[in-house]
Structure 1
Amino acid sequence: MHMKRIATLTAVAAAVILSACSSGPSGSMMTAAAASSGPTATAVLEPTKGNTAAGTVTFQQRGDRVMVTTKVTGLKPNQEHGMHAHEKGDCSSGDGMSTGGHFNPNGKPHGPQESEHHAGDMPALKADANGNANASFELSGVTVGSGSAVLVGRGLIVHAAPDDYKTQPTGNSGARIACGVIKQG
């Protein structure tokens, strides 16, 4: 009886291990290394003068898209905040204005990800009741590695207000409350 139970448990364990190695949608083997491959970058957000927003935003190239993961604190609770990549990786001014305008190498209008938009336009951060925004989303039209739409070396700004995705060229997102530079690695 004891040997039969060990054999059953061994068979179940083998089935679990083999199912973890199953083929992905294209028929190729999906592994943790394949899912996480591609260059990465990080922006450490620091509050601008008189603000408390701070955090870390990571960027990882995945094929022709970039996966973005945010961990931001010190936001206005239960509110959306605009977030954009800006032209210059310069947070030296106390108000974040040294980053310039939205990153827009293709001269497109400001807008949501689903339509024509600046390369630096991103989905809004949604703060919880404690003022934290932990989110993940994908971007298209930008890269982490190289090219005219590379994010590395750009400024990353979190704004005080939500982005309306209509007002040109900024989305009426209000003051810049946190600033970071997107750096490789």
Structure 2
Amino acid sequence: MSVLLQATRRNKGPRAALSNLRNNGKLPGVVYGYNIDSIPIVLDYKETAKAVQTYGRTSVFQIEVEGKKVNAVITDVQRCALKGHVKHVDFLSINMSEELEVEIPVVATGESAGVKEGGILNQPVRTLKIKVKPAEMPEHIELDVSSLGIGDSISVRDININYEVLNADEDTLFTVTPPGVAKDDTAGQGDTDNADIKATEAPESEN
């Protein structure tokens, strides 16, 4: 079931106009793709943030603009480099009967045997690119890591899920390293690229 978001057409203008929209609780964006011309839009910041936090960034959203409703997915979220708040969102209008190629977050379940022995669970690849119909698109993909001992790993070739995976077979999803071996990316760290829009007050001017 898609989530309805009300939008209005946005007139293109100077950066000051965009800042004014954001200061008044609005979120600039664009919707383009299947059965629609590219339309610059503006949405309510809090309403959009609440929908994304509730249903997940990989959900199908129904955008209503100028009396027309289209099913769409989020393809890009632009953030302020300094403050981290969302500045702009791109929506791709889709055909619900056709498969999409989408990036879905991978989540570890269970406690690794190696972690119980003091090892560190690392997640070098955090998303899987899959082909899936919009109505069947998962919020995330869970992989059980409980059998991983120190030195063990799970690669794409090792998994068996009900989706066509487009990643390379050798891509490592999880690995357990010995204690004291430093890694840049661990499974416990956040992923800013896939972070949700936060349901906070609209960002202040960036002047």
> Which TM-score band (shorter chain)?
under 0.3
Query: Which structure's CA Rg is the greater one?
Result: 1
Between structures 1 and 2, the one with greater strand share: 2
TM-score normalised by structure 2 residue count: 0.23
TM-score normalised by structure 1 residue count: 0.25
